[in-house]
Amino acid sequence: MKSLQDIRSVSVCALTPADTEAYRFVRLSALREQPPAFGSLPEDEPNLSDTAVRLEESDDRCFFGAFQNEQLVGIIRISRYSAPNEKHRAYLAGLYVLPSFRCHGCGKALIHEALSWAANATGIKRVNLTVVTQQEAAIRLYQSFGFRTYGTEPETFSRGGQFYDECLMTLALNSDNDRNA
């Protein structure tokens, strides 16, 4: 995992229902961006009240936000798989930083917090994610945390007549996270 040296100016914390409107604004920006980094469609995004429920505290998932001068400028979520025999895995998703706030360490700080959450959660041994193959900045960032690509899923989704492939990436957490596994 990367050091925190160059990400001190960014403040990252777990989001709560109080952040619903700001979260939804950033999330919809993510889903509308071109070229697409996400397969989800803006029209399928939960409404405000359902979003607030998703942001409630849970042992099995957490949404984090990056703030600059109290403005939410970046988001990420991490969730534990729900099946009893898959609870040792978590899924990292929805990483997005508003374009004018990029290259200031927000993405790095968000991933750092999400991985810390997984490392502190009982029994999580592995974190997986998928990322559109064209999203080179994201892929490089994930690699810097030790994620490795174990496959490519072709034509995961289509947008505007074009098909997009996704890299499948995985990271094994340290073995000292095995307590109570």
Ligand X SMILES: CC(C)(COP(=O)(O)OP(=O)(O)OC[C@H]1O[C@@H](n2cnc3c(N)ncnc32)[C@H](O)[C@@H]1OP(=O)(O)O)[C@@H](O)C(=O)NCCC(=O)NCCS
Give the whole-angstrom CA distance, residue 92 versus residue 76.
Answer: 7
Residue 27 or 104 having the CB closest to ligand X: 104
Tokens of residue 53, six digits: 């429920």
Residue 52 or 110 having the CB closest to ligand X: 110
Judge contact between 63 and 23, C-beta under 8 A.
yes
To the nearest whole angstrom, how small is the minimum distance from the Cβ of residue 82 to ligand X? 21
Per CB under 6 A, residues contacting ligand X are 37, 95-97, 102-108, 131, 135-138, 140-141, 144
Give the whole-angstrom CA distance, residue 133 versus residue 166.
Answer: 5
- Closest CB to ligand X: residue number: 107
Tokens of residue 87, six digits: 């609870």
Both ends of the chain: CA-CA distance in Å?
Answer: 22
Residue 115 or 138 having the CB closest to ligand X: 138
To the nearest whole angstrom, how small is the minimum distance from the Cβ of residue 39 to ligand X? 10
Residue 16 or 29 having the CB closest to ligand X: 29
To the nearest whole angstrom, how small is the minimum distance from the Cβ of residue 137 to ligand X? 3
Residue 73 or 173 having the CB closest to ligand X: 73
To the nearest whole angstrom, how small is the minimum distance from the Cβ of residue 94 to ligand X? 7
Give the whole-angstrom CA distance, residue 42 versus residue 180.
Answer: 39
To the nearest whole angstrom, how small is the minimum distance from the Cβ of residue 106 to ligand X? 4
Q: How long, in residues, is the chain?
A: 181
**Phi, psi (rounded to 5 degrees) for 87:** -70, -10
